[in-house]
Structure 1
Amino acid sequence: MISLILVALVAIEHLYILVLEMFLWTTPRGRKTFGTTPELAEASKSLAANQGLYNGFLAAGLVWGIFHPDAAFGRQIEIFFLICVLVAALYGGATAKRSILLMQGLPALVALLAVLVL
């Protein structure tokens, strides 16, 4: 049960990122979250929407794993998508903003360890 809750939290986080990147990118909240100016946000909104869509796919995969009728296969799906989140966090942390490692990578790592151990 703990691992399912942790996986669900990672999925919710990525749904929130989807909303920020796809729908709130040019708003004051989106600009503050990502540290962009109004001009940069406007110029990059289609790129951000694309990133948001990918975060949505990560969330969808995690939800698929949680609700898959075959628990063993669902666990494999969760492992795959949590590793995808970790790889994305490592890349984002190395190339965009170091805090991505903590904000996205750490929850995914904790959830992955829980899925593997529990």
Structure 2
Amino acid sequence: MTGFILLLSGIIGLLHLVIMGLEMFASPEKQAKTFDMPHDFVTQPNAQIALKNMGIYNGSLGLTLLTSLFLFQGDVRLKVLLLFNLFVVIVGLYGGKTVTKSIYLIQALPAIITSLLIFTQLV
């Protein structure tokens, strides 16, 4: 079970690096389509600043998840992964409510499942 938890956490970490790439480096056309936002909006300089700022946070979250896989062992690793996956749950629930409903499925649901698996492993 622990191996499956580590795999899921790694996938979630990689997903956040992909999200960072889209938010920070993708074309406005791709950003508008991916995040279900009007093209006119994402081409505005302030919107680009906001997207890049969100990208930094998503990239940091992804990198900390991936780094945790290697820096910690045993129950400490599971507790750290639980913490970061719960952060992803919060971010995913807020993003699903405020940006696009697909974030619930892509971001929040995998983190909820992983968090529940970690919690059952720790109890």
What TM-score do the two structures reach when normalised by structure 1?
0.88
Aligned-pair Cα RMSD in Å: 1.6
Deviation of 1:103 (Å) = 1.2
Matched residue, 1:29: 30
Matched residue, 1:103: 106
Structure 2, gaps ≥5 residues long: none
Matched residue, 1:18: 20
* Contact residue 25 and residue 48 of structure 1 kept, 8 A: no
More divergent stretch after superposition (33-42 vs 46-55): 33-42
What TM-score do the two structures reach when normalised by structure 2?
0.85
Deviation of 1:8 (Å) = 0.5
Q: How many residues of Structure 1 are paired with residues of Structure 2 in the alignment?
A: 117
Percent identity for Structure 1 against Structure 2: 30
Structure 1, gaps ≥5 residues long: none
Select the residue among 58, 62, 79 that pairs with 2:61: 58
Alignment of 1:39-50 (within 5 A): 39-43=40-44, 44-50=47-53
